[in-house]
Amino acid sequence: MTMVEKASNLRFGGSVWCNLDIALRNMDQVFRRELRVLDLTVIEWYILRALYETDGQHASELAQAVGRAATSFTPNLDKLEGKGYIERRPDLSDRRAVRIHLTDAGKEKQNGVLDASEKIDEKLASMFSHNEFETFLEVLNRLQTASLDN
């Protein structure tokens, strides 16, 4: 019996990809509920988190940091700029590029954004034993850096 066959409580015959996608969509809904009070979408929350770590990134770096394609990233930045949380500034070393910076309003959101993150993480951790959650984090790290091309 394969490992997938042992996971009989999973949908679609235990397909890892299908079940991972379903779990992600479920967690996305959890995040959306938590972020609604901050007037942020999940992607906007990701962008702000990335800027809190390193303000003034190029748009392409920011897109990569949050796992999005740079070619379709502009509307996300437009929305955050419209809300007054970020601003685009020319890159002084490359006139063709812009850097994305937090505004004062964006910086004021930081505590709420980080508190929401902590609240969500605590809810997720409470679903598992300490050891299970540590294992989950290890698996998550591997999945984020996985290359199945081998």
- Judge whether 78 lies within some domain: yes
The pTM score is 0.79
Report residue 90 CA to chain centroid gap.
26
Mean per-residue pLDDT over the chain, rounded: 89
Return d(Cα 102, Cα 88) in angstroms, integer: 9
- Judge whether 122 lies within some domain: yes
User: What pLDDT, in 10s, does the model give residues 7-39?
Assistant: 568 888 888 888 889 998 998 888 888 888 899
Specify the pLDDT at position 78: 96
- Judge whether 105 lies within some domain: yes
Specify the pLDDT at position 101: 98
Structural domain harbouring 130:
17-142
Query: Residue 104 — pLDDT band, cuts 50, 70, 90?
Result: very high
- Judge whether 93 lies within some domain: yes
- The strands making up 94-102's β-sheet, listed across from edge to edge, are 57-58, 94-102, 86-91
- Judge whether 7 lies within some domain: no
Q: Which CATH number is 52's domain given?
A: 1.10.10.10
- Judge whether 88 lies within some domain: yes
User: What pLDDT, in 10s, does the model give residues 81-95?
Assistant: 999 999 999 988 888
Q: How many domains does the chain have?
A: 1
- Judge whether 127 lies within some domain: yes
